[in-house]
Structure 1
Amino acid sequence: MEIFLFFVAHWYLSLLMQTFFLHRYAAHKMFTMSPVWEKFFYTLTWIFQGSSFLSPYAYGVMHRLHHAYADTEEDPHSPGFSSSVVDMMWKTKNYYNTILNHQDTIEPKFKRGVPHWAFMERLGDSWVSRLGWGVLYTLFYIHFATAWWMFLLLPIHYLMGPVHGVIINWYAHRYGYVNFKVDDTAKNLIPFDFLMMGESYHNNHHKFGGRANFGIKWHEFDPTYPLIRLLNALHVIKLKANNDLKYM
């Protein structure tokens, strides 16, 4: 039971920071927050994503490029230009590291307003941090696992952020249904998104890139959106009045 609860908690807490902070805030600026709250959520991202910490800066810039050049050769992660899931993940990693290490030649407009906390970027990307979190996950499993097969879940913990990314960037561009005609292959992966906290409504999101609620149809419940509304009501964030506008 402990292993199950730990896995579910890690899955959804890591995913929460990816969809709420990295995606909807860092990349799309669907809402604003104070510098103090920004550092708070930066820190939560490091804690919840752990060994697979994704830089809000690199993620934000790369995701903006994905929207601008979806399913073209300039898309950082298009299934149409990769031979396999592993090939796409490897290309994405290389692109991500180029941005993270400021070795890119990307136009400044894609970087405008993307959060950047140098200390946490260095800490989260350090091997000391990544290995440290990985050791903690392993020790937890050693203590609580009751069957050998449970240890097969550990690689998912180690790579939780990229696993979440590939589910959308590969599978939601190949499988699912379409609500709107868009200039790329983005699809809604599942009709009721119990798995990806709204991220599965990828076709909706590509149609309305700045819309904070990814669900459109009556059955498309976006679990992250009520949290956004709650944080807005508590004045932790300020939801933009017209969040249907795209980031550019």
Structure 2
Amino acid sequence: MSLLIFIVLHWYTSLFFQSIFHHRYAAHNLFTMSRFWEKVFYIGCFITQGSSYISAYTYGLMHRLHHAHTDLPEDPHSPHNDPNPFIMMWTTRNNYFNLHIGNVGTAEKYKKNLPDWKSFDKIAHNYITRIIWIGIYVLIYFFLATAWWQWLLLPVTVLMGSLQGMAVNWWAHKFGYQNYSMKNTSKNILPVDIIFWGEAYHNNHHKHPQRPNNASRWFEWDMGFQTMRLLHHFKIITIKS
């Protein structure tokens, strides 16, 4: 039970920072925050994503390219370019690192207002740090696992952030329903999203990429937007109107 609680907490906290900081702040600039709070969110990303930590700058750049070239060959993570989700994860990984190290030329318009904390990423974004995180996860499983089969969940913990990205980017272009007719295959995965912080409303998001609330219909509920409202209330962020 303790290990299950850890995995659930890891899922929601990791996805919170990916949804709110990487996606809505870095990629779409849906709200503003002070430099202090930006650094707090950077550290939060590192603590919750651990071995699957990704650069907010590179994520934001890659996601903007996804919106600009959805389902086309230039899309850095489209299920229409790969035969299965695991190959798509590998393709996404390669495209991400090529962008991160500057191997791909990208128009300056996609780089505008991206958060960038280079000195922090030198520590957080390297293989030595990832290996240390894996060691920490092994220790957590050593103390919390009560059956051999629970160790089969260790790869999920190690790859948490990547699996979350794959789940949304694969499923939301393969399965679900559409509120809006689009020139791409974006879909809403769940009618009531209590799993993906509102990221399940992918069709809504592609229709209105600069709208803070991904929910469109009466039964849809964007947990990420509601969290943003709370952060806005406490003056941690300022949601753009």
Could you say which TM-score interval applies, normalised by the shorter chain?
A: over 0.9
Secondary structure class of the residue paired with 2:80: helix
Tell me the residue number matched to 1:152. Answer: 152
Q: Distance in 2 between matches of 1:62 and 1:101?
A: 13
Deviation at 1:105, TM superposition (A): 0.4
Tell me the residue number matched to 1:82. Answer: 82
Q: Distance in 1 between matches of 2:120 and 2:161?
A: 16
Q: Which amino acid is 1:74 matched to?
A: E
Q: Distance in 1 between matches of 2:140 and 2:161?
A: 19
Q: Distance in 2 between matches of 1:37 and 1:149?
A: 40
Secondary structure class of the residue paired with 1:179: coil
Tell me the residue number matched to 1:107. Answer: 107
Residue correspondence of structure 1 range 28-177 to structure 2 within 5 A: 28-177=28-177
Deviation at 1:139, TM superposition (A): 0.7
Q: Which amino acid is 2:192 matched to?
A: F
Secondary structure class of the residue paired with 1:81: coil
Q: Distance in 1 between matches of 2:127 and 2:211?
A: 36
Moved over 6 A (4+): none
Q: Distance in 2 between matches of 1:74 and 1:144?
A: 43
Q: Distance in 2 between matches of 1:181 and 1:198?
A: 20
Secondary structure class of the residue paired with 1:165: helix
Deviation at 1:128, TM superposition (A): 1.8
Q: Distance in 2 between matches of 1:99 and 1:89?
A: 15
Q: Which amino acid is 2:156 matched to?
A: I
Deviation at 1:103, TM superposition (A): 2.1
Structure 1: stretches of 5+ with no match in the other structure: 242-248
Deviation at 1:183, TM superposition (A): 1.4
For residues 200-224 of structure 1, the C-alpha deviation after alignment (integer angstroms, 9 at most, x for no partner) is 0000000000111111111111111
- 2:230 aligned with 1:230: yes
Tell me the residue number matched to 1:186. Answer: 186
Normalization by structure 1: what TM-score? Answer: 0.95
Q: Distance in 1 between matches of 2:219 and 2:54?
A: 30
Q: Distance in 2 between matches of 1:147 and 1:64?
A: 43
Q: Distance in 2 between matches of 1:208 and 1:179?
A: 11
Secondary structure class of the residue paired with 2:51: helix
For residues 26-45 of structure 1, the C-alpha deviation after alignment (integer angstroms, 9 at most, x for no partner) is 00000011111111101110
Tell me the residue number matched to 1:208. Answer: 208
Normalization by structure 2: what TM-score? Answer: 0.98
Q: Distance in 1 between matches of 2:41 and 2:144?
A: 29
Tell me the residue number matched to 2:198. Answer: 198
- 2:11 aligned with 1:14: no
Deviation at 1:14, TM superposition (A): 0.2
Number of residue pairs aligned between Structure 1 and Structure 2: 241
For residues 106-156 of structure 1, the C-alpha deviation after alignment (integer angstroms, 9 at most, x for no partner) is 101001101010022222221121111111111111111111111111101
Tell me the residue number matched to 1:244. Answer: none
Secondary structure class of the residue paired with 1:70: coil
Secondary structure class of the residue paired with 1:79: coil
> Greater CA deviation, 109-118 or 95-104?
95-104
Deviation at 1:171, TM superposition (A): 1.0
Tell me the residue number matched to 1:245. Answer: none
Deviation at 1:4, TM superposition (A): 0.8
Q: Which amino acid is 1:216 matched to?
A: S
Q: Which amino acid is 1:77 matched to?
A: H
